[in-house]
């Protein structure tokens, strides 16, 4: 094989994939220099590999697909930023003054939280330490946290022991992100402990709303935490696969595309 700059696109993508799997992470700028092509071309290569579920795109680069379940919150916040922003805004618009709502530990729930600062007299129930800290200077929001063991990757408290404390609250809406959504598995997570917490809290919510970007459709994680029939609605982006969206709508679930 010739030098990197002489490679055909398919050959270049194979070499890029080898680098990602070997090094665990690559940057667009470095790949552009190494293969003597523009950053636009590299981003297109990464998108092709991502569409084939061979890698996971991140802000400025990519990581191996088989590391996706272990992605920390910091890294997940850098994925599908624009889509999560739209989903978060749409979810926040459903929250009324006086509501009690649950926000899980997903990066999409964090995007939603950032649109709630103008609300008054709402109660946010969450096991996310990041979300709870976000509302420290927001007098109109009361934060309630169940106890648990701190998980560093998700920056959250995990455990079912303190959930009985939440039974005194009437939770109007629960917003749940997921590793994946699929028929028949429903909403799934890569952490069995996280899924167990979500499963208990879903039973406490009057309205259960899935918040997940288009890349999550068709994925299946380790543990299911919500059946599709448990969901009242889903907020996703316009890249969600149309066939699967219609299958979910046929079950009587409202799907909002933003």
pLDDT higher than threshold 60 for residue 68: no
> Coil, helix or strand for 80?
coil
pLDDT higher than threshold 80 for residue 230: yes
How many helical (H) and strand (E) elements, i.e. helices and strands, does the chain have? 9, 15
CA quadruple 68, 249, 223, 177: dihedral positive or negative? positive
pLDDT higher than threshold 70 for residue 143: yes
Q: What is the pLDDT of residue 78?
A: 62
pLDDT digits (tens, 9 = 90+) for 173-185: 999 999 999 999 9
Joined tokens for residue 42:
């590299």
Spell out the domain ranges in the chain. 4-68, 81-257
Residue 180 or 78, more confident:
180
DSSP for 149-173, written as a single string:
EEETTTTEEE-STTGGGGGGS-EEE
DSSP 8-state symbol, 128: B
Region 204-232: mean pLDDT is 95
Joined tokens for residue 76:
């997940």
Residue 123's nearest CA partner among 200, 205, 203 is: 205
DSSP for 47-85, written as a single string:
HHHHHTTSEEEETTEEEEGGGGGG--HHHHTTSSHHHHH
> Phi and psi dihedrals of 211, rounded to 5?
-125, 105
Assigned CATH for 81-257: 3.40.50.1360
**What mean pLDDT is reported for the chain?**
89
pLDDT higher than threshold 90 for residue 117: no
Residue 183 or 69, more confident:
183
CATH of 4-68, one of 2.60.120.10, 3.30.70.260, 1.10.760.10, 1.10.10.10: 1.10.10.10
Query: pTM surpassing 0.85?
Result: no
Q: Which of 31-35, 43-47, 122-126, 161-165 has the lowest mean pLDDT?
A: 161-165
pLDDT higher than threshold 80 for residue 75: no
Q: What is the pLDDT of residue 185?
A: 95
Q: What are the residues facing 62 on neighbouring strands?
A: 26, 57
Q: What is the pLDDT of residue 183?
A: 93
pLDDT higher than threshold 90 for residue 250: yes
């Amino acid at each position: 094989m010739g030098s990197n700059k002489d490679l055909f696109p398919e050959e270049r993508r194979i070499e890029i994939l080898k680098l990602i799997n070997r090094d665990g992470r690559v940057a667009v700028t470095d790949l552009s220099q190494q293969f003597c092509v523009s950053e636009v071309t590299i981003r297109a290569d990464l998108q092709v590999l991502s569409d084939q579920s061979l890698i996971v795109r991140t802000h400025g680069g990519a990581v191996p697909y088989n590391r996706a379940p272990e992605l920390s919150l910091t890294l997940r916040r850098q994925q599908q930023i624009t889509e999560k922003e739209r989903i978060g805004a749409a979810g926040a618009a459903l929250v009324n003054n006086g509501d009690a709502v649950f926000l899980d530990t997903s990066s999409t729930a964090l995007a939603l939280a950032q649109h709630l600062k103008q609300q008054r007299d709402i109660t946010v129930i969450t096991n996310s330490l990041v979300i709870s800290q976000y509302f420290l200077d927001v007098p109109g929001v009361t934060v309630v946290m169940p106890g648990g063991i701190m998980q560093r990757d998700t920056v959250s408290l995990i455990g079912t022991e303190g959930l009985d404390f939440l039974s005194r609250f009437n939770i109007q809406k629960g917003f749940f992100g997921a590793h994946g959504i699929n028929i028949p598995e429903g909403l799934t997570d890569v952490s069995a402990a996280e899924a167990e917490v979500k499963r208990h809290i879903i039973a406490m919510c009057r309205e259960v709303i899935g918040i997940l970007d288009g890349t999550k459709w068709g994925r299946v994680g380790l543990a299911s935490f919500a059946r599709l029939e448990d969901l009242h609605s889903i907020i996703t982006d316009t890249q969600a696969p149309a066939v699967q969206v219609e299958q979910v709508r046929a079950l009587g679930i409202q799907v909002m595309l933003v």
